[in-house]
Structure 1
Amino acid sequence: MIRFKPGASRWVPPRFLSRAFTLSVPVAWGATAVAYRMTCPLARDDALGARLVSSAVLCTVVTGLVMHVRGGLLREVRRARAVAEAAQDALLRPPPPRVDGLAVAAVHLPADREARIGGDLYEVIATEHGVRALIGDVRGHGAGALRTVAAVLGSFREAAHDEAELAGVLRRLERAMARHLRERVAAESDPAVAEEFVTVLLLEILPDGEVRALNCGHPWPYRLTGARAEPLARADPLPPLGPFPLPAELPALPCGRLLPGDALVLHTDGAEEARDREGRFFPLQDVLTEVARTRRPTPPGAVLRSVLTALLRHSVDPPKDDVALLVLSDERTIRRPAPDHHERARLRAR
């Protein structure tokens, strides 16, 4: 039966015809070799010239078979890569350009240039509790890291709306990560999987610009304010999510206010660990300071372009580790006061 793709006029052959087309080339080459051997007089001639002709014919047949197999393998690799990229794009979807008064831009450079699958993750969500942002870094690359990214992002996208406090969001991420590792250990029968971990940074930006953070082993972001770039905080982070239990109390760290025109640059450690020929690390803070000095306000897209240009110029080769950058710039000019305890309770009761 002839089948057509929905909404398209191009004919799609049935599966058995596709397999027949795939086998037709090697069968044809084999039939050519057999026919030459059985019917051509040169194939039975012991003269040197006849042997050279026979060798050339056999080499041509073998080359054709090898090229056909190679072409099939390359097509399979391209299809697998396309599926992996589609899965990556579905998980690490681009953030919207604006989220509740904040301009947003993000970029992800995976270290695995062939598979294009990385272990970095980020997300920005507007909730009734404020704008909540996540950035993280899974240890490792490949399909295993992608599954961990899916578990963490899926949990965050639900918990960011459900949990009134930032600590509740982090607890949900911790439980999701523990459940994910248990399932992987059971499925892969590899005890080493239980040692996998992910660093995460959670930010909460309230309507009045107040910033709160919970950091589990991740680099602190930079705040671009005035003409300088400075770390958002210098407190010791909590342990990464995975085999390390979090403490019983998880108070969110106050990090001041994000003023109109200021920007926050969240990044993974691959951005600061890129090296040049002399082994020097990429000076991310210096680059951001130059951006803050020359631009006011600081559009997220311009920040990303400046950092990526400097990073690629600094690195002789592509970065050895995944690089993710997430920039949040405050474009609000009129502040409304942050809801007090009673107002937040009333909003949650809606």
Structure 2
Amino acid sequence: MATMRAVQVEQLRKPMEVREIPIPEIGDEDVLVRITASGICRTDWHVWNGDWTWAGLNLPIPITLGHEIGGVVERIGSGVTRLKPGMRVCVPFNYADGDCPYCRNGMQNLCDNAAWGFTTPGSGGFAQYARVPNADLNCIELPENVTEKDAAALGCRYMTSYRAVRSRARVQAGEIVVVVGAGGVGLSAVQIAAATGGLVIAIDTKESALRSAERAGARHVINSAGLSPEDLRESVTKIVGSKGAEVAIDAMGGQNTTLTALHTLAKGGRLCVAGLTTQDDQGQIQIPIDQMVFNEWSLVGTLGNPHSQYPDLLRLVDSGTLQPSKLISEEISLSDVQSVFDRIPSFETEGFVVVTDFQ
């Protein structure tokens, strides 16, 4: 049986190692993708750390993580009609069935029968090959000017921010947009909101992350180390005036960042939460509900990006309006994946770290 190199999770929170495992078999509706670029997302670390069990997520072990995939179609199942061997593709992390009411309405990100790339055996991106189920829907061909590294960069964090900025927060040109957290999601939100015409203020505790936010298009930055949500509201109002921001995006998730984002809003402001909680909050935070009523704040969540919205996203990347690969900070090999995981808890990684060496 043909084998491939893959990073295997054999126990939660235990070091992963590169193993030789069988190349995944594919079914009639599947394709096999030869991976050429695979992003390392904080979500992978959360899953490996055993987070989100409170939301019903349980990791089948052993498994290969990785869910930000750019690659080339290697082999197709007999029932696949839209894809051909040799096509360059992006693989969204949220595999949809195409048949549920949400899919039929173009909201594949909310599919009733969704399967996640990082919990589906044979589909992990930290490997030389991945099986993509229901591939005519779940593999998206790349335009000419969109690279496979672009595809890896936009496979989760960037496309999540795209939906947050464009569809959920509905950022308009000229609006003040506060982005809390300048990691992968936050930097993506900064770049997309700035390209949309928003005046972006980035908030983070690391100076190096704030410098990255400026390069991504932030007009102003605030170091939040030691500051309360109320302190940060004052900092924002000093920059923009007394009214605050029209939009805030919580790119981290959790009690402190969500409250910080809320407090930066002007009356009638819109908060979009694009991050998930950790072991500290386990899915539960306290919201100042009276202030939300008095100020008519609105709060929405965002999850991934529907497959139906990929053509618009890819057109913007193809034209150069959006540049996800500019957020890539490191290119590494499969054998380096665990060392990146070791750096994630202390926020030592910035931007996108992408596996490009699979040997």
Q: What TM-score comes out, normalization by structure 2 length?
A: 0.23
User: Which one has a bigger Cα radius of gyration?
Assistant: 1
TM-score (ref. length: structure 1)? 0.24
Identify the structure with the greater helix proportion.
1
Q: Which has the higher contact order (CA 8 A, sep 6+)?
A: 2
Q: Which has the higher strand share?
A: 2
